[in-house]
């Protein structure tokens, strides 16, 4: 990307979007297009089209999405599928109509079948049933991938898609009803420590394995891929390593200073048993994550504490 190019980061205030902006600024980019959801409703086709027609961005990062954990996905299935479908459709179509040079669409590792072989290779997409607890979000993200591929095939658009693993970091969502497992655990253990609780309850059995990527590493990977990759096929972004929820909870308890008991509520769903990405394609391109889980968790906790004062 040229340093003077106009770059639109859709969802620039969120976990992913804010990290991409930080990374681009570090690289010397200054010509950004930002619009909050109050300024432009990306679920409104007319508003989205007007934004592109007026501003004519050169490059687009599609980080805008309605996201959440198991509880949120189960509680608001219609919102998760509708809002994500309509946002990505509006942005991708407007990017085509206004001749955007290149677009990067951010998907999610939940696009892969629930019982797919591990680690999850990009070729496993659409080879089996999805995890029921987040299929609404996953279907919307799969549609976004296919939109990028379709516009590339029919119109020659340089639209690419990346699939991040589970993300965490500054600007994450710590709301107990809508957050993902990692920020939810940080908040639980932090509040338990300050209340003097003797135990913390964690959803599920603690045995599922998950891969976690620090969001600033993701942002670095997105900028790398934007410069280095031109293909139609999706690209996984992750660490290539995973950890049990029980081990994750133990590390978070240590970082937050909670010394009580961790209790697992087996009546709550576990979700997919194992979910780890095959990052061979990205490694072969020349990129790998550099932030350790412990370091990333410590930085995320410091940020969370700074926001609660």
- Per-residue tokens: 176: 């107990």
Element containing residue 151 per DSSP (H, E): helix 135-155
The answer to whether the annotation marks 11 as part of a ligand binding site is yes
The DSSP bridge partners found for residue 167 are 213
Residue 8: other Cβ atoms inside 10 A = 24
Helix (H, G, I), strand (E, B) or coil at 2: coil
The answer to whether the annotation marks 173 as part of a ligand binding site is no
Separation in Å, CA 104 to CA 94, 147, 149, 232: 14, 12, 12, 11
- Per-residue tokens: 69: 């954990």
The answer to whether the annotation marks 164 as part of a ligand binding site is yes
Residue 152: other Cβ atoms inside 10 A = 19
How far is Cα 182 from Cα 69, in angstroms, rounded to an integer? 10
The answer to whether the annotation marks 108 as part of a ligand binding site is yes
- Per-residue tokens: 254: 């240590």
How far is Cα 167 from Cα 307, in angstroms, rounded to an integer? 19
Give backbone dihedrals phi and psi of 33, rounded to 5 degrees, phi first.
-115, 115
The answer to whether the annotation marks 85 as part of a ligand binding site is no
- Computed on alpha carbons and rounded to an integer, the radius of gyration of the chain in Å comes to 19
The answer to whether the annotation marks 14 as part of a ligand binding site is yes
The answer to whether the annotation marks 46 as part of a ligand binding site is no
Separation in Å, CA 257 to CA 186, 192, 203, 251, 309: 11, 10, 20, 10, 17
The answer to whether the annotation marks 204 as part of a ligand binding site is no
The answer to whether the annotation marks 60 as part of a ligand binding site is no
Residue numbers annotated as active site: 137
Residue 215: other Cβ atoms inside 10 A = 26
The answer to whether the annotation marks 295 as part of a ligand binding site is no
The answer to whether the annotation marks 165 as part of a ligand binding site is yes
Say which DSSP state 244 is in: E
The answer to whether the annotation marks 106 as part of a ligand binding site is yes
The DSSP bridge partners found for residue 162 are 106, 235
Known binding-site residue numbers for NADP(+) = 11-17, 106-109, 141, 164-167, 180
Known binding-site residue numbers = 11-17, 106-109, 141, 164-167, 180, 188, 203, 210, 270
Known binding-site residue numbers for substrate = 188, 203, 210, 270
């Amino acid at each position: 990307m040229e340093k003077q190019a106009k770059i639109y980061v859709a969802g620039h205030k969120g976990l992913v979007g804010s990290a991409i902006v930080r990374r681009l600024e570090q690289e010397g980019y200054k010509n950004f297009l930002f619009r909050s959801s109050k300024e432009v409703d990306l679920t409104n086709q007319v508003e989205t089209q007007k934004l592109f027609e007026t501003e004519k961005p050169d490059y687009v990062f599609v980080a805008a999405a309605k996201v959440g954990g198991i509880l949120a996905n189960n509680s608001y299935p219609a919102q998760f599928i509708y809002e994500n479908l309509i946002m990505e459709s509006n942005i991708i179509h407007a990017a085509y109509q206004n001749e955007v040079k290149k677009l990067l669409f951010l998907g999610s590792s939940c696009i892969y079948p629930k019982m797919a072989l591990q680690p999850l290779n990009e070729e496993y997409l659409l080879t089996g049933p999805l995890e029921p607890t987040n299929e609404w979000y996953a279907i919307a993200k799969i549609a976004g991938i296919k939109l990028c591929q379709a516009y590339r095939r029919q119109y020659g658009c340089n639209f690419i898609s990346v699939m991040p693993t589970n993300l965490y970091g500054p600007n994450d969502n710590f709301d107990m009803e809508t957050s993902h497992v990692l920020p939810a655990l940080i908040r639980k253990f932090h509040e338990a420590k300050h209340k003097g609780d003797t135990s913390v309850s964690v959803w599920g059995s603690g045995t599922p394995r998950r891969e976690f990527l620090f969001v600033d590493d993701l942002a670095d990977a997105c900028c790398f891929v934007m410069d280095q990759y031109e293909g139609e096929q999706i690209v996984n972004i992750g660490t290539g390593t995973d950890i049990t929820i029980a081990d994750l909870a133990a590390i978070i308890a240590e970082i937050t200073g909670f010394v009580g008991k961790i209790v697992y509520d087996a009546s709550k769903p576990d979700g997919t048993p194992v979910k780890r990405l095959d990052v061979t394609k990205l490694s072969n391109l020349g990129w790998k994550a550099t932030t350790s889980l412990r370091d990333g968790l410590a930085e995320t906790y410091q940020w969370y504490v700074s926001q609660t004062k």
